[in-house]
Amino acid sequence: MDFHSRQFPRAKHQVFINFRGHELRCGFVSHLVEALQRHGINVFVEKLAGIGEDLTNLFAKIEESTIALVIFSRRYTESRWCLDELVKIKERTDQGLLKVIPIFFKVEPVTVKLLRGAFGDQFRDREWEYRCDKPRIESWKEALASVSREIGLAFKKKSNESKFVKIIVKEVEKMLQLQVNLEVTPFPGRHCMNIIASTQEPVDLSRESVLVHENANISNKIVVVSKGYMDIEYQNGVLRSQRAELNERLNKLNSIMEGVIRETPEFLLPPKTPDR
């Protein structure tokens, strides 16, 4: 048994990675998985289980895990699977049964929190797709707001991917070691995250990545503003869609009327009013 196996003798899957497969599977995530495994950390990623595994099985893997890495990327909200997994991760974190590290991969934390840009547009597409399932949509919003408030790591567009992967591995090892040292089961998710934040060594990430740690009160205010913003954006989107549909129908009606007038004999048309 190697050093890391003796050091972290915990859950069946120590780390569960939640990510947008089509965007990251063959690049960043594959490098991250390799690095974690090289350090003796047992990691579950969908690729290792087979594409298209049932969500129930994936939820079971989350329950078997100690840490969840949630990788927010530009195309994350394209996938309702990512969002459903995120809801499960939030549920386990709230119960004190899972720790979570959000990773903002080439997206700003505020983009995730306020559902801006392509990230937000794709979420609103999912809202429209599942508009008949309001509880599900609300659970997605709550999970996005909650997890994006946690302490996380941000990867900028010009960052060094190799160094960033090493930083993630280091943070995961710290979390696993802290769990062993404290010997707390179950452990309170948010409190443990705060302990880590206060005991970890400062890391200079000015050029490679940014350690995101925001004040809880400010975050709560952002969530309130975010919810209002999302509701307004959703209503605006519906109104824009309805207006476009009405304009299209009006244009078709005008075209039909012009065709009817052209084909109607002149003696059947109402007399023209003379100009005054």
The span from the CA of 23 to the CA of 76, in Å, is 8
Cβ contact 109:154 at 8 Å = yes
Copy the structure tokens of residue 74: 């530009």
Of 97 and 267, the one with more pLDDT = 97
Out of 16-30, 66-80, 220-234, 235-249, the most confident range is 66-80
Is 8's pLDDT higher than 50?
A: no
Is 174's pLDDT higher than 80?
A: yes
Per-residue pLDDT at 267: 62
Tell whether 194 and 239 lie within a shared domain.
no
Model confidence at 216, pLDDT cuts 50, 70, 90, reads: very low
Copy the structure tokens of residue 145: 């707001």
Tell whether 96 and 226 lie within a shared domain.
no
The span from the CA of 93 to the CA of 58, in Å, is 16
Alpha helices in the chain (DSSP H): 3-7, 21-24, 30-38, 46-49, 55-63, 80-94, 109-113, 117-129, 134-148, 161-182, 189-199, 216-263
Which residues on adjacent β-strands are paired with residue 153? 103, 211
Identify the residue whose tokens are 């975010």: 226
Model confidence at 26, pLDDT cuts 50, 70, 90, reads: confident
Is 13's pLDDT higher than 80?
A: no
Is 225's pLDDT higher than 70?
A: no
- Please name the residues in contact with 188: beta carbons below 8 A apart, sequence gap of 6 or more: 96
Omega before residue 186 within 30° of 0, cis? yes
Per-residue pLDDT at 209: 46
Per-residue pLDDT at 244: 80
146 assigned to some structural domain: yes
> CA 10, 153, 193, 140 torsion: positive or negative?
negative
Diameter of the chain measured on Cα atoms: 103
Tell whether 196 and 232 lie within a shared domain.
no
Tell whether 175 and 84 lie within a shared domain.
yes
The proportion of the chain whose per-residue pLDDT surpasses 70, expressed as a percent, equals 67
Tell whether 223 and 204 lie within a shared domain.
no
DSSP annotation of 274: P
- Please name the residues in contact with 252: beta carbons below 8 A apart, sequence gap of 6 or more: none
Tell whether 236 and 201 lie within a shared domain.
no
- Please name the residues in contact with 272: beta carbons below 8 A apart, sequence gap of 6 or more: none
52 assigned to some structural domain: yes
Single out the residue in 195, 214, 233 at which a domain terminates: 214
Q: What CATH number corresponds to the domain at position 62?
A: 3.40.50.10140
- Please name the residues in contact with 205: beta carbons below 8 A apart, sequence gap of 6 or more: 153, 167, 211
* Catalytic entry in 78, 85, 150, 171: 85
pLDDT digits (tens, 9 = 90+) for 176-208: 887 766 554 454 544 444 433 434 444 444 444
Tell whether 154 and 170 lie within a shared domain.
yes
CA dist 198 → 191, 193, 194, 202, 213 (Å): 11, 9, 6, 10, 11
DSSP annotation of 114: T
Per-residue pLDDT at 92: 94
Per-residue pLDDT at 177: 83
- Please name the residues in contact with 119: beta carbons below 8 A apart, sequence gap of 6 or more: 72, 74, 76, 77, 107, 111, 112
Model confidence at 65, pLDDT cuts 50, 70, 90, reads: very high
Rg of the chain (C-alpha set): 26
Cβ contact 209:153 at 8 Å = yes
Cβ contact 101:67 at 8 Å = yes
Cβ contact 66:44 at 8 Å = no
> Domain count of the chain?
2
Tell whether 189 and 220 lie within a shared domain.
no
Tell whether 224 and 199 lie within a shared domain.
no
Query: Residue 252 belongs to what domain range?
Result: 216-262
89 assigned to some structural domain: yes
Model confidence at 273, pLDDT cuts 50, 70, 90, reads: low
214 is catalytic: no
Per-residue pLDDT at 132: 95
Segment 114-132 shows an average pLDDT of 94
